[in-house]
A and B are shown apart, each in its own frame.
Chain A
């Protein structure tokens, strides 16, 4: 048979596509639930860390249980097409709120969870869900030394919208709402500052009384 005949070439390629395409599809389909579970597990771990919830073990179910006991959740349609999740802690004396946030980092989207006091005057903690900053440089935003600086930080709501929190040495010099930037990652620090300030502004504009918080047991799929 002539291997260069158009019919053979087309037939061969079609067969190859079918065989390998279905191979890829099979693997993808077989692992679909695992992928979704992994995604959920990562999300839950970050939320638990952001609220500093007591988690009894390291299994996925432990995180779910911890969240169900301590949190309620509401969702808001964000103007940019995303859905912002708002968590409210119900088991503690002082109510605190957690918001998912996202925006453009230096290389790619940075997503995270920010926990604030209910009056939005104090940042309790922030944690990142996902980012693609340079390992060893920008990626150090995930390190405790950087994240710990946000604990108890008070956004300056009277300052101009791009100066509510300050990362690095931006003016004004005596600001109390400042955290140190990451040495060698000027661009990541600057992008993060910008996105945090934009997101804080959007969070402030939310009408929190309108939100319908539901127990996580109800909202769980």
Chain B
């Protein structure tokens, strides 16, 4: 094997990927508004390390770096919460590109969605940093545009002052999903979609701060708009998005009303909380790791939506998107094959 000779990077032009980046730009602005400029720094770190990783690996082949690399790293960085240390952001980006994509042979050959691989890795590897430090959002004008992050503040924003709580309390606050599950506090559905996540609630005599989860979990409306753009330009496959939402809605209805499990939240909360919408627009629509045949795509997306609801209800953590998608990715080649066999048999029969 030759030494690691670095070739000048040549970018693989991928129109679809550019469109996804274009859809992500306003989301980034929204996230900065809610959380401060640190979000932009996280994105830069993820894209920088991700690009380096892909460049080094690509230099051993033909030196072509895919635009998808930036999409992967942006999606990954936005799915973290704003308090995650930057070096962890970098580790996840390397894992996403190296183990999510390059070891399989580069763009188009990966089994799993690379952004999810990176997100899953840091989640399992650094559970404390990833899941125990959340902050509320900034509000008003100019919101987060005037701040680095809530964590670096000396005093809480005015709307959170009172009840004797400090910045440290804000960092360890409960997200809407934890609050609902452990403290019985249900965040209003409208707030979930508009990102008004922050405030103080009482549980058994203790005041707790409600905090947002990951960067991207707060802006449901912005995601819906970005999703409409991607669907309009046919960048994202509508079957996958619709299937996942359908699966989540259907199983939430089934579990909550037909089976009668109160721990499963109502539809609005299910769709608005956590990363479900984000995943439905940006994650399950990854064309490489999703099945290729239409019926298989429906099964795949509905399966993932159902698993999200199930994992949220049954597992020890409150989110379930990452593992649902990894599971779906794993099943995707098999689904394609089964559907292929089924179609061939039908053709033969007719």
Contacts and interface: CB of A to CB of B under 8 A. Distances in A.
Q: Do chains A and B touch in the complex (CB under 8 A)?
A: yes
Interface of A: 169, 171-174, 183-184, 186-187
B206 A173 contact: yes
B203 A173 contact: yes
Nearest to B203: A173
B128 A183 contact: yes
Contact of A184 (B128, B204, B205, B206): B128
Contact of A172 (B182, B204, B316): B204
Interface residues of B, number: 8
Interface in B181-206: 182, 203-206
Contacts of B203: 171, 173
A172 B204 CA distance: 7
A169 B206 CA distance: 13
Contacts of B316: 186-187
Nearest to B317: A186
Given A172-B204, A184-B128, 9 more contacts: A169-B182, A173-B203, A173-B204, A173-B205, A173-B206, A174-B205, A183-B127, A186-B316, A187-B316
A26 B203 CA distance: 64
B172 to A, nearest CB: 11
A212 to B, nearest CB: 45
Interface string B116-129: 00000000000110
B118 to A, nearest CB: 20
Contacts of B204: 171-173
Contacts of A171: 203-204
A174 B127 contact: no
Contacts of A186: 316
Task: Give the one of A169, A171, A184, A187 with max B CB within 10 A.
Answer: A171
A106 to B, nearest CB: 11
Instruction: Tell me if B's interface is mostly helix, strand, loop or mixed.
Output: mixed
A174 B128 contact: no
Interface in B100-150: 127-128
A30 B316 CA distance: 47
Nearest to B207: A173
B17 to A, nearest CB: 36
Contacts of A173: 203-206
Contacts of B127: 183-184
Contacts of A184: 127-128
A167 to B, nearest CB: 15
Nearest to B183: A171
Nearest to A172: B204
B2 to A, nearest CB: 40
Nearest to B206: A173
Nearest to A187: B316
Contacts of B128: 183-184
Contacts of B206: 173-174
Interface string B221-255: 00000000000000000000000000000000000
B34 to A, nearest CB: 27
A169 B178 CA distance: 12
What 6 A-B pairs are tightest by C-beta distance, nearest first? Answer: A173-B206, A172-B204, A171-B204, A173-B204, A186-B316, A183-B128
A170 to B, nearest CB: 9
Contacts of A187: 316
17 contacts: A169-B182, A171-B203, A171-B204, A172-B204, A172-B205, A173-B203, A173-B204, A173-B205, A173-B206, A174-B205, A174-B206, A183-B127, A183-B128, A184-B127, A184-B128, A186-B316, A187-B316
A184 B123 CA distance: 11
Contacts of A174: 205-206
B123 to A, nearest CB: 12
A184 B182 CA distance: 17
A171 B182 CA distance: 9
A183 B133 CA distance: 13
A1 B97 CA distance: 64
A155 B75 CA distance: 48
Nearest to A173: B206
B241 to A, nearest CB: 33
